[in-house]
Structure 1
């Protein structure tokens, strides 16, 4: 599973310390072809938001019920400037919808 499979939830689990449900996106793509990468990432994040907002998350993963959801992008590569700007905007939008958003480069 990866960012390229925009309709699939890559990973989901409950953080034992915070009790929050974490929905992770596995992003292995380089940022050099940034426009295509950003489009795929946007589609993936939109799928995650739909999964949460529709309530499907509670049907597919009952442990998510009554927990704060966080979308977390786990990337292999450091984003370029365009990518950083995109991630900052996504964070505002996702948090404005009442969910958390995190980015982690590994």
Structure 2
């Protein structure tokens, strides 16, 4: 899946090292249109928050009960400096205020 399908959770799993639950967003888009990219990413993050806050996560993934949970964004292409990083910092704070984590990284697989 991708950020083009905002209502679908791309992947969910438990980190071996920590036992925390990651809800992964697979961001395959390039950054040719930064504004559209960030809007789509915001919609996807909001959808994930709805999934977490509604408790649907526990029905779909019972192993999440009593675990720390975070949204993990894996970018295929590195975010450009500027607006993208401002957005990510604000998104991280917004998600944290709701009791969850948010992290991101660039895929280790070349684009």
Q: Using the TM superposition, give the Cα deviation of residue 12 of structure 1 relative to its aligned residue in structure 2, in angstroms.
A: 0.0
Alpha-carbon distance between aligned partners in 2 of 1:68 and 1:51, rounded to the nearest angstrom:
15
Q: Secondary structure at the match of 1:74?
A: strand
* Alignment size in residue pairs: 106
Could you tell me the TM-score, scaled by structure 1's length?
A: 0.97
Note the residue ranges of structure 1 that are not aligned, 5 or more in a row: none
Aligned to 2:87: 86
Provide the alpha-carbon RMSD of the alignment.
0.7
Where do 4+ consecutive residues of structure 1 move more than 6 Å?
none
Contact 1:31 1:83 in 2 (8 A): no
Question: What TM-score results when the alignment is normalised by the length of structure 2?
Answer: 0.92
Q: Distance in 1 between matches of 2:44 and 2:85?
A: 17
Which runs of no fewer than 5 residues in structure 2 stay unpaired?
none
Counterpart for residue 49 of structure 2: 49
SS at match of 2:38: helix
Give runs of aligned pairs for residues 1-106 of structure 1, distance below 5 A.
Answer: 1-80=1-80, 81-106=82-107
Q: CA deviation at 1:32?
A: 2.2
